[in-house]
Amino acid sequence: MAKDGRTYDASFADIIAEGARIVLLDDGMELELRPMPDEEREHALDPRVYELTQKRLSGAFVTPAGVDFEAMRKRPNKENHDIDSGGVTETVETMHLTGCDGGDVRDIELYVFTPEELAAPAPVVAFYHGGGFTVGNIGMYRPALRYLAEQAGCVVVFPDYRLAPEHPFPAGLNDCDETLDYLAEHAERLGIDMGRVAVAGDSAGGSLANGVVQLRAGSGLVKLVMEMYPAVDGGPVPPEWSYDMYPWLPEQAVEAKSRVDRIKASVDDLSAVYTAGDAQKMLDPLISAAYCKDLSVFPRTVVVSSEFDYLRYQNEKFAQQLRAAGVEVRAIRYLGCDHGFFEACGVMPQAEDLCRVMAAEVRKL
């Protein structure tokens, strides 16, 4: 039974794909610009982002304080809806992980999304969720991951990794890494091909995906990385950073600046919760991949940025670093969007388009 929960015209994702264009950055890297489907003004906010931002600024939505993790974890997720055909099966199993030395025993839930008539063994995507390493749950991503599994004809898994500050770095990263061992152990039962493994993640999940790639360097296990507005540099705001990097319409200045500031303001708090207050540790390449000394260990990588996201400058710079290291890179910028649009499947047509982009990349494996 189809589950078309789209709150937008069904043609919008097609319009985004058809309007995509390439521009060249200073170093010659191609940057793919994917447009808004119903707004043609340059540097405008996506109409859905603009409307929701106005509601937030009016006080219609109250966000818990960043240090109130219990409240943050219990707050309602962004609105999202299923848009798949209804033929994707979801199961939940418990991974019993023991750590490389057997001293870090824990049970982690793994959500598994399998499309009907899977051509097993199929590719597998391990998706690591965002949330500043401190929040995040399957409800934020279920519709997108269902649609991705269906569009790609692959198995998608979502490990419910341990969160900080209760479990600081590298606890969550270890959970994400050891998920791949679990998949290898149960590959036949799950119908997956461990020769076609992709890792993906958004925001903090992008950091975790990059960390897993480095931990698996030289193994050849991970064949594809797909990261959405990833956290790749946990250091201080660089001196070259400026609001001038984010041109916006004068009449939308308040709303656009608030979208940039939302993530910018959270960066300084990360070390307090993720590395127990050790700001220097935030520069560990396993957290901040921009500091990896040998980026050539990365496989084919897709780096996605949002026009009005504070992290955009470091995302696109990281894509350039990868390219300079000889990595095959696809860099994409979604115009009009802010940080976190992938969570709003069925509400943001860009999330649907991105699932299709990811599916096409997986089908190349």
pLDDT in tens, 111-165: 999 999 899 999 999 999 999 999 999 999 999 999 999 999 999 999 999 999 9
pLDDT value, residue 102: 66
Q: How far is CA 73 from CA 65, 83, 282, in A?
A: 11, 25, 23
Q: Specify the pTM.
A: 0.97
- Using pLDDT thresholds of 50, 70 and 90, give the confidence band for residue 290: very high
pLDDT at residue 238 is higher than 70: yes
Per the CB < 8 A criterion, the answer to whether 353 and 17 are in contact is: yes
Does residue 100 register a pLDDT over 90? no
For the cut 50, the answer to whether the pLDDT of residue 351 exceeds it is yes
CA distance 281 to 290: 13
Q: Is the pLDDT of residue 71 over 90?
A: no
Cβ of 170: how many Cβ atoms within 10 Å?
19
**What's the rounded Cα separation, in Å, for the pair 178 and 102?**
12
- Whether cis (ω within 30° of 0) applies to the bond prior to 165 is yes
pLDDT at position 83 is: 98
Provide the pLDDT confidence category of residue 74 given band limits of 50, 70 and 90.
confident
Report the distance separating Cα 197 and Cα 299, nearest Å: 11
Say if residues 222 and 213 touch (Cβ distance below 8 Å).
yes
Looking at the predicted structure, is the pLDDT value of residue 52 above 70?
yes
Average pLDDT estimate for 299-321: 98
Structure confidence at residue 1 as a pLDDT band (50, 70, 90): very low
Q: What is the pLDDT of residue 66?
A: 60
Give all strands of the β-sheet with 30-34 in edge-to-edge order: 21-24, 30-34, 329-334, 300-306, 222-228, 192-202, 122-128, 155-159, 106-115, 88-97
Q: Average pLDDT over the chain, rounded to whole?
A: 95
